[in-house]
Amino acid sequence: MPDSTPEPNNPKWLLLIHQIPPKPDYFRVKVWRRLQRLGAVPLKNSVYVLPRNDQAMEDFQWMAREIVSGKGDATVCEARFVEGLTDKQVESLFHQARNADYEAIAEDARRLTNEVPRSRKAAADQRARVESDLARLRKRLADIAAIDHLRAPAAATARRHIEELERMVHTPVSTRNPEPRDAGPALKNAYRRRTWVTRRGIHIDRMASAWLIRRFIDHAARFKFVPPAAYRPGKREVRFDMFEAEFTHEGDLCTFEVLIKRFSLHDPALRPIAEIVHDIDLKDARWGRQEGPGIERLIAGIAMAHRDDGRRLERGAAVFEDLYEYFRRRRA
């Protein structure tokens, strides 16, 4: 979900212009797959585009850093098309890419609808397989929606077919029984009563991380939201989930996961929340938790309804507090 939209007179697009060394082959494939997960579309073999917003800027900055660390070259720039391609043609590239994804989901949903046994008692193995396929299909739909930057027309058809399939099956809910334990005081003592700084336009990882900070790390934390460009922290300020931050993405971990790891937060109820945040933020379908699509839509609704980051934080914190209580109390 975009964090902001460009002003009418500002560039509408971000470009990642890169060159990757021919060897090793796996690195080229890794970069290509990551760009696919971001929903970027190619203008040429070495030029990828995203609609300009804060999230896209950070995603391309991380990609550029990864490419350079792999002995390649990369440049991120804002762009407005003057000759050749038009905005409409670029938008069409995004629609074509996502429409193909949605149409494949709709076709699979239609096929599964025909395979659902009409009796719950009959063909138990077949019903279980269809239910499992439905869960994967919902996850695919959520993943595509997360990178559908320009609302491709085929989305409505895919959702309608999945809703029809959902009416015919029941997906069992797995349960767990976590009991909370508090983190040790060592690192927390060094980060008490701080101002925690992140980029404005907060979304899933920053909402969840801010809740985690105030709930488990710094109960007196204050939060400050700044533009995405380079920011120099003031006295007793600490940055999170932004470029060059003290606490931000590390490897394949989102900021929420990094905070849990660095502050040794062993509370079992945090693990499923971390898995949900990871999949929504990194778009890599690593955990595939069934709660993910619902939480993703809820967070998207908060972002749509509230432009003020303080209000987003307040609403998001309530969501994650209730989600934490749910996982804490859940019984097998």
Q: What is the pLDDT of residues 225-268, one digit of tens each?
A: 998 766 788 888 999 998 778 899 887 889 999 999 999 898 99
Task: Read off the pLDDT of residues 124-176 as tens digits, 9 standing for 90 and up.
Answer: 666 677 778 888 888 888 889 889 998 888 888 888 888 778 777 643 333 33
DSSP letter for 42, please: E
Q: 138 and 240: one domain?
A: no
Do 198 and 323 fall into the same domain?
yes
Residue that is last in its domain, among 59, 79, 99? 79
CA 114: distance to chain centroid? 32
Supply the pLDDT for residue 220. Answer: 92
Asked if residue 34 belongs to a domain, the reply is yes
Q: Are residues 52 and 143 in the same domain?
A: no
Among 65-74, 113-122, 294-303, name the one with the lowest average pLDDT: 113-122
**Domain-embedded: residue 5:** no
* Residue finishing a domain among 38, 54, 79: 79
Other CB atoms within 10 Å distance of the CB of residue 114 = 8
Which residues 6+ apart lie within 8 Å of 221 measured at CB? 193, 194, 195, 196, 210, 213, 214
Pair 147, 225 in one domain: no
Res 179 pLDDT > 50: no
Confidence band, pLDDT 50/70/90 cuts, at residue 218 = very high
User: In angstroms, rounded to a whole number, what is the distance separating the alpha carbons of residues 75 and 72?
Assistant: 10
| Residue type at 221 in one-letter notation | A
Residues 147 and 196 in one domain: no
CATH number for the domain spanning 59: value is 3.30.70.240
Residue 253 three-state SS: strand
pLDDT of residue 175: 30
Examine the domain organization and report whether 318 and 291 are in the same domain: yes
Query: Above pLDDT 90, what percent of the chain?
Result: 54
pLDDT surpassing 50 at residue 277: yes
Query: Looking at the domain assignment, is residue 180 inside a domain?
Result: no
In which residue are the tokens 């391309």 written?
A: 60
Task: Please report whether residue 237 resides in a domain.
Answer: yes
Q: Is there a single domain that holds both residue 276 and residue 296?
A: yes
- Residue 42 phi/psi, 5° resolution? -80, 135
| 6 assigned to some structural domain | no
**Does the pLDDT value for residue 96 go beyond 80?**
yes
Number of domains in the chain: 3
- Buried b / exposed e over 257-272, threshold 16 CB at 10 Å, is bbbbeebebebebbbb
pLDDT band, very low/low/confident/very high, at 40 (cuts 50, 70, 90): very high
**Domain carrying residue 269:** 186-329
C-alpha gyration radius of the chain: 21
137 and 214 fall within a common domain: no
pTM score: 0.51
Residue 176 lies in a domain: no
Same domain, 248 and 198: yes
Domain finish residue from 55, 79, 103? 79
| Nearby residues of 160 by Cβ (< 8 Å), 6 or more positions away | none
Q: Does residue 149 sit in the same domain as residue 200?
A: no
Q: How far apart are CA 252 and CA 29, in angstroms?
A: 16
| Residue 1: inside a domain | no
Are residues 146 and 195 both part of a single domain? no
pLDDT digits (tens, 9 = 90+) for 10-31: 789 999 999 999 888 899 999 9
Question: For residue 300, how far is the Cα from the chain centroid?
Answer: 11
Residues 323, 192 share a domain: yes
Whole-angstrom distance, CA of residue 123 vs CA of residue 110: 19
Q: What is the dihedral of CA 308, 310, 311, 315, to 10 degrees?
A: 140
Domain membership flag for residue 175? no
Rounded to whole angstroms, the Cα distance separating 328 from 259 reads 19
